[in-house]
A and B are shown apart, each in its own frame.
Chain A
Amino acid sequence: MEAIHLWWIGEREPRENVLAHVRLHLERAFGARVPLWPGVERPVDAYDARRKQWSSSRILDWLARVGPGGRVLGVTDVDLFIPILTFVFGEAQLNGRAALVSTARLAEPGLPDERVVLERLAKESVHEVGHVFGLLHCDTPVCVMGRSSSVRDVDKKRGELCPTCRGRIARGAGEAT
Chain B
Amino acid sequence: MSVSNTRVLIVDDEEIVRESLGGWLEKDGYQVASAPDGRAAVERMKGERWNVMLVDLKMPGMDGLQVLEEARKLQPDAAVILMTAYATVDTAVTAMKLGAFDYLVKPFDPEELSILMQKVVAQQSLVRENAVLRKALKKEHRFRDLVSKSPAMQRVFDLAQVAARSNSTILVLGESGSGKEVLARTIHAESPRSEGPFVAVSCAALTESLLESELFGHEKGAFTGAIARRKGKFEAAHGGTLFLDEVGDISPKLQLDMLRVLEERKFQRVGGNEPIEVDVRVVAATNRDLKKAVADGTFREDLFYRLNVIPVTLPPLRERKEDIPILVDHFLDRLEAELKRRVQVSPEAMAALLAHDWPGNVRELRNVLERGAVVAQGDVIKATDLGLAPPTVKASSANPPGEPPTLEDVERRHIAEVLAHTGGNVSQAARLLAIDRVTLYSKIKKFGLRRDGEEPEPAHG
Contact = CB atoms under 8 A, between A and B. Distances in A.
Interface of A: 57, 81-88, 94, 131, 136-137, 139, 147, 149-150, 153, 176-177
Contacts of A150: 110-111
Interface in B66-91: none
Contacts of B20: 57, 82-85
B107 interface: yes
A94 to B, nearest CB: 6
Contacts of B16: 83
A107 B24 CA distance: 23
B132 interface: no
Contact of A85 (B14, B26, B28, B110): B110
Given A82-B20, A83-B20, A85-B113, A136 B107 contact: no
B49 interface: no
A137 B27 contact: yes
Contact of B110 (A57, A88, A131, A177): A88
A85 B27 contact: no
B195 interface: no
Given A94-B23, A94-B27, A177-B29, A84 B111 contact: no
B17 A94 contact: no
B305 interface: no
Sorted nearest first, the 9 A-B pairs with minimum C-beta distance are A149-B110, A149-B111, A149-B114, A82-B20, A84-B21, A83-B20, A84-B20, A136-B29, A150-B111
Nearest to B14: A83
Given A84-B107, A88-B110, A139-B3, 13 more contacts: A82-B20, A82-B23, A84-B17, A84-B108, A85-B107, A85-B108, A85-B113, A137-B29, A147-B28, A149-B113, A149-B114, A150-B110, A150-B111
Contacts of A85: 20, 24, 107-110, 113
B106 interface: yes
A131 B27 CA distance: 8
A129 to B, nearest CB: 13
A84 B24 contact: yes
Contacts of A88: 110
B399 interface: no
Q: Looking at A57, A131, A137, which has the most chain B CB atoms within 10 Å of its CB?
A: A137
Nearest to B28: A137
A173 B23 CA distance: 18
B396 interface: no
A159 to B, nearest CB: 19
5 contacts: A82-B20, A84-B21, A85-B20, A147-B114, A177-B4
A147 B118 CA distance: 12
Q: Looking at A57, A84, A149, A150, which has the most chain B CB atoms within 10 Å of its CB?
A: A84
A86 B112 CA distance: 10
A86 B109 contact: yes
Interface in B114-136: 114-115
Nearest to B108: A85
Contacts of B110: 85-88, 149-150
A86 B109 CA distance: 5
B24 A82 contact: yes
Nearest to B118: A147
Contacts of A176: 4
Contacts of B29: 136-137, 177
B224 to A, nearest CB: 82
Contacts of A149: 109-111, 113-115
A6 B280 CA distance: 88
A81 B4 contact: no
Contacts of B113: 85, 149
Nearest to A135: B27
Contact of B107 (A86, A94, A137): A86
A150 B113 CA distance: 11
Contacts of B114: 147, 149
B59 to A, nearest CB: 15
Contacts of A81: 107
Interface string B1-29: 00110000000001011001101101111
Nearest to A138: B29
Contact of A84 (B3, B4, B106, B115): B106
A150 B28 CA distance: 15
A149 B114 CA distance: 7
Contacts of B108: 84-86
Contacts of B3: 139
Nearest to B4: A177
Contacts of A83: 14, 16-17, 20, 107
A137 B14 CA distance: 26
A84 B15 CA distance: 11
Nearest to B26: A94
B118 to A, nearest CB: 10
A84 B17 CA distance: 6
Q: Looking at A139, A147, A150, which has the most chain B CB atoms within 10 Å of its CB?
A: A147
Contacts of B109: 85-86, 149
Nearest to A51: B107
A58 to B, nearest CB: 11
A98 to B, nearest CB: 13
A83 B110 CA distance: 12
B106 A136 contact: no
Contacts of A57: 20
A113 B21 CA distance: 34
Contacts of B28: 136-137, 147
B245 to A, nearest CB: 61
